[in-house]
Amino acid sequence: MMLIEDEPDALAGMTRIAAGLNLPDLTLHTADNAESALPLIHAFQPELIVTDIMLPRMTGLELIESVVDEGGYKPKVIVVSGFNDFEYARQSIRLGAFDYLLKPFRTEDFKARIEKAIGLVLAEKKLAAENSKQQSLAERGNHAMRDEYLIEFCTRPTSLEEHLYQRLRLWQIAWLAEAPYTVMLMDVKGYPDGKPLHRDHALQTFAIGNIVSELAEARSSSVLLKDPKNRWMLITASDQPEQMAKEAVASVGSYQRITLAVGISAKMQRFDQLHEAYAQAQRAFQIHSLSDEAPMHYESPAASAAAAANSIPEAIGALIVRGGQGDAEGRRIGVFPASGPAGREFLRA
């Protein structure tokens, strides 16, 4: 509460009455002019202001006009005046004053006006808290439903129908049906099929989620949720998914000392490919989880086979250069077959 009155005796009396209300959370500020009241109002934003109209230099009405609605600030205001002038009352109402009190006033009247204003402030705060709680519960329920649907889309092929598209719009993820996207899976390295249920593992999952959610929020068109194996799944339309993954690995490693495994699907063009994208991300995640050298992004079996085939001539060349140990080394790594009929057939070919 803020009390502003230039008459010392009147200010002392108002202060005594306000302090005597015995409100546990009441913080009381006083000033004898508008200029000294302004910085206090800006600093503490009192929910109730009681001000005299006739103050030196700046009037109480001018003070209220300068602070009300500033950045959404809307305190309850009780205007005190020694003049029974309708124009003052009209201006007070125009500025949103809660009440208008004429001097001289009785202690009981002043106390009743303050109690009424404070009661209204407390009721509004309670209502705002209840509305915020209801909104939070509604948002959590909405997110839970969204995640449940997304998991279903990821675990079985789903065609995009009108009612599903409307749900995507409701959840503000219509980009899944309108833009290319990628699916990523992330979890602690070394658990290709998901971590066992354990309190420490739950804390790790929570910590990873906090970091990755910040990265996702910094980019548009991204949604983060948990898959059925409690791994974090990021679906994003970002054109730099691997960069996002590298940032996640670096941040989780730096802040939590956790080595992160990541699997990234190929970029998909259609909503009905979400199931395929999730399967690719799982495969890439499993490989990256067990190897420090494996790439994070998905490689098709055909591409992997082609890469392996291309590496064989290089291995043969290296063995030829190494001379006499070539046959034995070739058999060890599988480039040359073992001696015997199969080996002789390979050499004749």
Instruction: Give the chain's largest Cα–Cα span.
Output: 119
Q: Is residue 148 part of a domain?
A: no
- CATH number of 194's domain: 3.30.70.270
Contacts of 98 (CB under 8 A, 6+ apart): 76, 77, 78, 117, 120
245 and 165, same structural domain? yes
Q: Residue 151 falls within a domain, yes or no?
A: no
Which of 299, 321, 340 lies at the terminal end of a domain, its last residue?
299
Q: What sign has the CA pseudo-torsion 109, 114, 120, 123? A: negative
State whether 109 and 75 are in the same domain.
yes
Residue 133 located in a structural domain: no
Query: Is residue 145, in this structure, part of any structural domain at all?
Result: no
- Beta strands (DSSP E) in 73-173 are 76-81, 99-102
At 245 the pLDDT is 94
pLDDT at 47 (0 to 100):
92
Higher pLDDT, 277 or 307: 277
Where does the pLDDT of residue 259 fall: very low under 50, low under 70, confident under 90, or very high at 90 and above? Answer: very high
Judgement on whether residues 64 and 117 belong to the same structural domain of the protein: yes
The domain spanning residue 114 has which CATH number? 3.40.50.2300
Cα separation, 51 vs 65, in Å, equals 12
User: What is the count of structural domains for the chain?
Assistant: 3
pLDDT 10s digits, 143-153: 899 999 999 99
Give the other-Cβ count within 10 Å of 308's Cβ.
Answer: 9
Task: Give the chain's mean pLDDT.
Answer: 83
Mean pLDDT of 87-108: 83
- Is 292 a residue whose pLDDT tops 50? yes
Residues 275 and 328 both lie in one domain: no
Residue 341 and residue 290 share a domain: no
20 is in which domain, residue-wise? 2-125
Judge whether 187 lies within some domain. yes
Asked which of 66-70, 109-113, 330-334 is least confident by mean pLDDT, the reply is: 330-334
In this prediction, residue 85 has a pLDDT band, given cuts at 50, 70 and 90, of low
Q: What is the pLDDT of residue 101?
A: 85
Name the most confidently modeled range: 72-86, 188-202, 227-241, 298-312: 227-241
- Do residues 101 and 175 share a domain? no
Supply 330's token pair: 């070739």
Instruction: Say yes or no: 287 and 198 in one domain.
Output: yes
Q: Which residue has the tokens 């109480």?
A: 60
Q: How confident is the model at residue 306 (pLDDT cuts 50, 70, 90)?
A: low
Can you tell me the distance from the alpha carbon of 86 to that of 92, in angstroms, rounded to the nearest whole number? Answer: 10
Asked if residue 304 is part of any domain, the answer here is no
Is 150 a member of any domain?
Answer: no
Q: Are residues 211 and 326 in the same domain?
A: no
Same domain, 198 and 81: no
Higher pLDDT, 52 or 22: 52
pLDDT band at residue 319 under the 50/70/90 scheme: very low
Q: Is the pLDDT of residue 94 over 90?
A: no
- State mean pLDDT over 61-79: 85
Are residues 25 and 86 located together in one domain of the fold?
Answer: yes
Residues 194 and 286 in one domain: yes
pLDDT of residue 295: 87
- pLDDT, one tens digit per residue, over 39-57 is 999 999 999 999 998 898 8
Average pLDDT of the segment spanning 121-132: 85
| pLDDT beyond 60 at 289 | yes
In a domain, 162, yes or no: yes
Residue 335's pLDDT is 42
Range 115-119 average pLDDT: 89
pLDDT bucket at 301, cuts 50 / 70 / 90: low
- Is residue 84 located within the same domain as residue 113? yes
Domain final residue, candidates 106, 125, 144: 125
Q: What pLDDT, on the 0 to 100 scale, is given for residue 210? A: 93
pTM of the predicted structure, to 2 decimals: 0.55
Lowest mean pLDDT among 60-74, 139-153, 204-218, 328-342: 328-342
